[in-house]
Structure 1
Amino acid sequence: MPTLFISHGSPMLAIQESPAHQFLLGLGKTLPKPTAILVASAHWESVGGPALSLAAEPETIHDFGGFPRALSEIQYDAPGAPETAARAAELLQHEGLTAKTSATRGLDHGAWVPLSLMYPQADIPVAQISVVRGATPDEHLRIGRALSQLREEGVLVIGSGSLTHNLYELRGHDINAPVPSWVTEFATWMSERLERNDSESLVNFYEKAPFAKRNHPTEEHISPLFVAMGAAGNASTVKRLHGSYEYGVLAMDIFAFE
């Protein structure tokens, strides 16, 4: 299996027509069918180390407000993947990383929004792994690398975040708002180094990339990228599958690590 990094943007991605919405509708059909899916979502942060969801029937978490009622009525009723989560915990332990577990954690919108488009039948078991608050890109890369064996076992590992994510700059923008240069310059820098597989530059993006802090004033939406990158193991190719912008400041890039 490849691993994926998906920029999930706004929760409206689930129901609002856009290039990213259309691309995700077809993405699942281009991939081998996974035995299970493990999502590292920007919307689940733990402290001190990663956490894994063991819920057998995960609820659909509507972790947002102020959106149309139709969005809050969506239920993504995929079965849970507690065996995959337990296997992930075992792999992390093998690499000296202790994972906490949650018996009840459901699927937040970082997981179910893209999955509802990719796999609308909701017939593939899904578990989540958290990102770690305050952890460095290198530390998230290590978490991902510990999970790389899952690819050989048919599990699709997805990092769900956003290539750019500054909500302070988002408010009041239309979905087709012009994209400022501070967004495009950062997104281009990241994309170029991803396609070169330049992990040394990428883990130091806060120091090296243009406008890094403006695009990511906090790190939780970029951390899943490093989990996905690490989970690919020694990936030989990184492909940018999709690129578009929404609301002026959200780069909706999707990458596959193969």
Structure 2
Amino acid sequence: MAAFAHTCRMTAASPSTPLPTLFLSHGSPMIAVEPREAGLFMQSLGQHIDALHGRPRAIVAMSPHTATRTPFVLGAPAHQAIHDFGGFPEALYALRYDVPGDAVLSKDVAKRLQQAGIGATWTEQGGLDHGIWTPLMHLYPQADVPVVPVSLTPHASPQQVFETGRALASLRHEGVLVIGSGSLTHNLQRFFQRPSPAGAAEAPDCAEFRAWVQRTAEGGLWPELLDYRRLAPHAVAMHPTDEHWLPFYFAAGAASESDQPWPVATRLHGSVTHGHLAMDAYGFGAGAAQLAEA
């Protein structure tokens, strides 16, 4: 395994083979120390991406925990893990995930967004919120892939976030892995008012919502997905506010093509913790189906 990992680190992603884009559910920050099924999946997913495409030259990531009124692109030369949470075990706060940034790519990302009519601002500030570093520490534990965070505008519509991703679609042809990190379901009020153990049986409304997302996404029913809040079963119960769901559309938009505006979607992983916190992961683009074997 060590030899395999070394080989992957030395092989850069080929621009001739477009990378799929990813939506990863990060759930609780505790995934960093208690990976469970979703974290273990991410560990194998990173190796699978490397084997199929080579190591990405950089990652562009969006998370709900870096939220701004208008989009910002973080262009610091290096990023440190931000422990933007409270009330967790000390072991979690001791973790670090310090990675290089990419100033050139970050300015290019800001320029592409601006050229698409999206009022993005480049900033020299840095840092990775837990929605970014907790998945990445499983995906690429060596912390050797530069990261460019793009902030989420939580008041934006799914269509607007999709268009933000679409403006960056050509990056996947340039060895850049685009990731939207959030949660397939995210109802913290239920989580705290009706706590249940991590291994609790899945709630029926969670199962129905997850099944609807898979059916519509893999069926290519993007108009329905963009109108999820009206059409999906139990949408408001699963997402009282939809900031944790919007990165799904960022990743999807980044896999669109000029001749294929709606991307191919594949559910790569499905699991649930605490009965209603869905940890599903999706891949977008023609090569996503190969990653389902991770």
Sort the TM-score into its range (normalised by shorter chain).
over 0.9
2:200 aligned to 177, 183, 207, which one?
Answer: 177
How many angstroms apart in 2 are the aligned matches of 1:182 and 1:104? 40
> Which residue does the alignment assign to 1:226?
249
Letter in 2 for 1:87: D
**Does the Cα contact within 8 Å between 1:2 and 1:156 map onto a contact in 2?**
yes
- How many Å separate the matches in 2 of 1:133 and 1:159? 13
The more displaced of 102-111 and 153-162 is 102-111
The answer as to 2:168 corresponding to 1:150 is no
Map Cα deviations across residues 178-226 of structure 1 (whole Å, 9 max, x no partner): 2211111111101111111211000000000011011111111011000
Q: What aligned pairs does 1:32-181 form with structure 2 within 5 A after superposition? A: 32=53, 33-47=55-69, 49-171=70-192, 172-181=195-204
CA distance in 2, matches of 1:204, 1:17: 32
Q: What is the one-letter code of the residue matched to 1:249?
A: H
Letter of the 2:233 partner, please give it: P
Whether 2:272 is the aligned partner of 1:245: answer: yes
Moved over 3 A (4+): none
Post-superposition Cα deviations, 1:42-77, rounded to whole Å, max 9, x if no partner, equal 111110x21111111112100111111111111101
2:26 aligned partner: 8
Match of 1:190 among 213, 218, 223: 213
After superposing the two structures, state which structure 1 stretch, 49-58 or 120-129, moved more. 49-58
- TM-score norm. by structure 2 comes to 0.85
Query: What amino acid is the match of 2:232?
Result: A
What is the identity, as a one-letter code, of the residue corresponding to 1:207?
Answer: R
Q: Percent identity over the alignment?
A: 43
Distance 1:206 1:15, change over 3 A: same
Residue of 42, 48, 67 corresponding to 1:30: 48
Indicate the SS of the match to 2:61. Answer: strand
Instruction: Name the SS for the 2:138 alignment partner.
Output: helix
Unmatched 5+ stretches in structure 2? 1-18, 286-294
CA contact (8 A) 1:170 1:248 kept: no
For residue 14 of structure 2, what is the aligned residue in structure 1? none
Deviation at 1:236? 5.1
Give the AA of the match of 1:42.
Answer: P
Query: Could you say which structure has the larger radius of gyration?
Result: 2
Aligned residue identity for 1:204: D
Q: Distance in 2 between matches of 1:220 and 1:27?
A: 25
Aligned residues: 257
SS at match of 2:96: coil
Amino acid of the structure 2 residue aligned with 1:205: Y
Asked whether 1:207 is paired with 2:230, we answer yes
Q: TM-score, normalised by structure 1?
A: 0.97
* Structure 1 pair 102–174 and aligned structure 2 pair: CA distance change class (3 A): farther
3-state DSSP of counterpart to 2:99: coil
User: What secondary structure, in the 3-state scheme, does the structure 2 residue paired with 1:26 have?
Assistant: helix
Secondary structure of the 2:128 match is: coil
Are residue 21 (structure 1) and residue 46 (structure 2) matched? Answer: no
Q: Give 1:210's aligned amino acid.
A: P
